[in-house]
Amino acid sequence: MANSRAEHDRTPKSEKKLSETFEGQLSEKANADPLFCPRYVSGWCMSKRKRCFDLVLSVIALIVFSPLMLLIAWLIKFTSQGPALFRQERVGLHQQTFVIFKFRTMENRRELLNAGPTVTRHGDSRMTKIGALLRRLKLDELPQLINVLRGEMSFVGPRPKIAQHENLCMLCRPGITGAATIEFSHEEGLLAGVPEELVERYVVTVLNPEKCKLDIKYIETTRFSTDLKILMHTVFKLSNRSRRTFSTESVRFLKARTNMETNSSKALNAAGESDFSGQEVRQSA
């Protein structure tokens, strides 16, 4: 108890204030939908220096990548019907929603979009050919430079999610990349091993909590050097941890599902055998 009190006293006043500001605001939502909430926010995470860094870098990146972005937009329009940009509401700073921009990677047909889960898996039938390539190269994320320029996102931070998948108390701007993004950079391939009807539940109950733990650590401890390291890992693929296999929680989840299926099939077989034996008795009678 004394150690935790001492640790709290060592927390910078600015960090305490940021965390305490939203404690009351999020208490009602936390009761209805449990959130992973950081204890405090690091000095760099919401500083003006980080915002200036994002602003300058986003302007430079938009100038450098604008020819490539125009080419990608033309290819999307040329190879499939619909807009080049995909827009969707995501949860941002202080749980406020904003519209995220991405290059469209799926067919723009309502019956296809509504048929599958909100989470995309490797080999998703709704994906266009150019869309699969863009996702593999992570080029579909380029329009998010506009979100960074507008102040809705940062280059580095927790990935913004749709409202029903967000379990993190967003005390910082969401990012194009982040610690959890690197760790789960092969998420689509990981989800390929999960049955389609369980993808949504698997993401919410297994993957998102693990991501939240990494995001909380980032929010509490990040510095300028941390952001640079994450950006380097993202651009040059220096992280080997991104190619991880199923976690312990994932294995437990899939084993539980297998046991449920096994028990269900045994129950159905037993019911079928009892019906069959009942028919034999009636026929013999």
How confident is residue 119, by pLDDT bands cut at 50, 70 and 90? low
Q: What pLDDT score does 14 carry?
A: 44
Q: What pLDDT score does 121 carry?
A: 56
Q: What is the mean pLDDT of residues 164-186?
A: 90
Q: What is the mean pLDDT of residues 5-27?
A: 45
Q: What backbone phi and psi angles, to 5 degrees, belong to 33?
A: -140, 100
Percentage of the chain beyond pLDDT 70 is 65
Is residue 62 within 8 Å of residue 150, measured between CB atoms? no
How confident is residue 240, by pLDDT bands cut at 50, 70 and 90? very low
Q: What is the mean pLDDT of residues 264-277?
A: 49
pLDDT over threshold 90, residue 96: yes
Residue type, 49: R
More confident residue, 15 or 228: 228
Cβ burial 127-157 (10 Å sphere, 16+ → b, else e): bbebbbebbeeebbbbbbbbbbbeebbbbbb
Q: What pLDDT score does 206 carry?
A: 85
Helices (DSSP H) in the chain: which residue ranges?
A: 2-10, 13-21, 23-32, 48-79, 110-113, 129-137, 144-149, 179-183, 187-191, 199-202, 208-221, 224-236, 248-284
Q: What pLDDT score does 110 carry?
A: 57
How confident is residue 205, by pLDDT bands cut at 50, 70 and 90? confident
pLDDT over threshold 50, residue 128: yes
Q: Centre a 10 Å sphere on the Cβ of residue 22 and count the other Cβ atoms it contains.
A: 17
| Most confident of the following: 10-14, 64-68, 79-83, 239-243 | 64-68
Q: What pLDDT score does 116 carry?
A: 56
pLDDT over threshold 80, residue 253: no
- How wide is the angle at C-alpha 37 spanned by C-alphas 202 and 50, nearest 5°? 105
Q: Which pTM value belongs to this model?
A: 0.71
145-161 per-position pLDDT tens digit: 999 999 999 999 999 99
